[in-house]
Amino acid sequence: MKHITYIKTGDYYIHDLKLPEEHRPIGRWGRMHRDYLKEYRPVVFNQLVLSGNLWTYLADINEQAQRRMEILISQVKTSRNVTEHLESSSQTRWTQEMENILSNSEEIIKAEIILNQQRKMARTGMRPTPSFHKNILKQQFQARGRRSKKQRKTFRLQQRRKYVILYSEVR
């Protein structure tokens, strides 16, 4: 049983509540998951906030995502034969390959960890197949390929406007 202490302020006694100290940063992935929880899982978000475990949970998510990212990048680099020899022979090709690997890995991390899509699949009885990641990447590639540069630019501007409007309504 925890011992509760009180602080006397004027004529009143107030609970002396302290949150656990967490010094690890939540990082990019933790912030993304926090936003996801706020918008789509408010009950879980409130439980974590009220129990004082939100920061620890988000720091763990961030570390998990970073480890998974490193593993994905190293595996894809070996499968695509992106080596230092390629970097020395053709830097532009190496840069293109690495940027492609990085963006694909980020999308997989978003789907797996941040947006909990595998957990949703498990709840419904579906199992993620080995082609799960390929399908995500294929959809993204097709979505990019269907639009011209001008269309993609106008789409990005529209998305930014929507975000600004939503963000201004929240404040």
Tokens for 28, please give them.
């990019």
pLDDT given at position 52: 83
Question: How many helices and strands in the chain, by DSSP H and E?
Answer: 8, 2
Asked whether residue 34 carries a pLDDT value surpassing 60, the answer given is yes
Q: Which amino acid makes up residue 136?
A: I
pLDDT computed for residue 29 by the predictor: 92
Give the model's pLDDT for residue 3: 72
138 touches 111 (CB < 8 A): no
Q: Using alpha carbons, list the distances in angstroms from residue 163 to 45, 56, 76.
A: 21, 28, 33
**Segment 51-76, tens digit of pLDDT:** 888 899 999 999 999 999 999 999 98
State pLDDT tens for residues 81-128.
888 888 889 889 999 999 999 998 898 888 888 877 555 545 545 444
Predicted confidence at residue 129, as pLDDT, reads 47
Structural tokens at position 51: 């129990």
